[in-house]
Amino acid sequence: MKVVILAGGKGTRLQEETSPRPKPMVEIGGRPILWHIMKHYARHGLKDFVIALGHRGEAIKRYFLDSHSLSGNMTIDYASRTVERQQRDQEDWRIHLHDTGEETNTGGRIGRLQSLLWDGTFMVTYGDGVANVDLSELLEFHRSHKLLATVTAVRPPARFGSLVFDGHRVTEFREKPQVGEGWINGGFLVFEPELFDYLLGDGCSLESHAMERLAADGQLAAFRHEGFWQCMDTPREKNYLEKLWQQGTAPWKTWETIGSGSIDPFSSRVAAA
C-alpha cells in the first residue's frame, strides 16, 4: 500500500525556517519533519512512499540521495579509484519522488500521481505535522465503513491556557486545553482510487473541493483521534516539537513505543459503497 506525502507547499508562515529549504525539510531533533512522519508510517509496515514535490523539491531529492549514498562507513581507495562501503544503516523504504508543480493545489498534486495509485487503497498525509495516530486502527476503520474516503479528525490544543474566575480571583488555570467540539482535518487520510473522479485539474483543492463533495455524497468517514497531534505552521509550534523531542517525551516517536504488529499491505481493498 502506498503512502502519499504532500510536500510541495511554500510554508510562508514559517519563513525563517523555509527561506533556505522546503517546509518538510525543517528539522526536529536534527532530522527533517518529513523523516519523522515516514518513520511513523514505516513502524506500521507502510514503507512504500510517494512524495509529491513542489516548492524547492530538489532539496528533498538531494536529502534522500545523500542519505542513501553517504550512510554507514566507507573506504576510499584513491589508487584504484574505488569506494568500499561497510555497515550501511538504511531504512528499508521505497520512495517515489515526483515533481507535481510549483503552484499545484493539494488535490491537483494527488491527481498527478494517478498512474501510481489507481490500483488500490492508498493513504495520504501532509508533510508538516506529526501525531501518534494508530494507523492499523485507522485502516481497519476505513475498511469496515466501506466508503471512498476516511479523514482523521483531531481536536487541536488551544493556543493559550484558560482561566476561570471568581470575581478578581483566579479559581482554576487550565494549561492549553483541547478545543471542545472543534474537530478538524488532521491529515492521515485513506482513499479508494475512485477519489480521482473528484479531482479536477491542478487547481483542485483536496480539502475544499474533493472532500467537500465526498462528504456531500455520503462517502467520507471520520476516524476520531483523541491522542497527540501537532502541525508545524509557526516558529512557536516548531520550537514546541523540538522541546518535546529534546526532553525525550515526543509522543509521535511511535517506532520505539508500539508493539510489533503491522498492517498487511496485501489485504483486499474496500469496494465503494
Express each pLDDT in 40-72 by its tens digit. 999 999 999 999 999 889 999 999 988 877 777
User: Which position has the grid cell 469496515?
Assistant: 144
Q: Give the model confidence (pLDDT) of 116-168 as tens digits.
A: 999 999 999 999 999 999 999 999 999 999 999 999 999 876 665 556 676 75
Q: What is the pLDDT averaged over residues 85-93?
A: 75
In this structure, the dihedral spanned by the alpha carbons of residues 191, 226, 228 and 34, taken in order and rounded to 10 degrees, is 0
DSSP, res 203: T
* Per-domain boundaries in the chain: 2-152+184-256
- For residues 53 and 102, the answer to whether their CB atoms sit within 8 Å is no
Can you give the pLDDT at residue 82? Answer: 87
CA distance 180 to 178: 6
Per-residue model confidence (pLDDT) at position 93: 93
Cβ-Cβ contacts under 8 Å for 270 (sequence gap 6 or more): 121, 142, 143, 146, 147, 192
* Measured CA distances, 148 to 123, 125, 228, 269, 270 (Å): 12, 16, 26, 11, 8
CATH of 2-152+184-256, one of 3.40.640.10, 3.40.50.300, 3.90.550.10, 3.40.50.800: 3.90.550.10
Q: What's the gap between Cα 16 and its chain centre?
A: 22
**CA 193, chain centre distance (Å):** 19
Q: Which H/E stretch holds residue 41?
A: helix 33-43
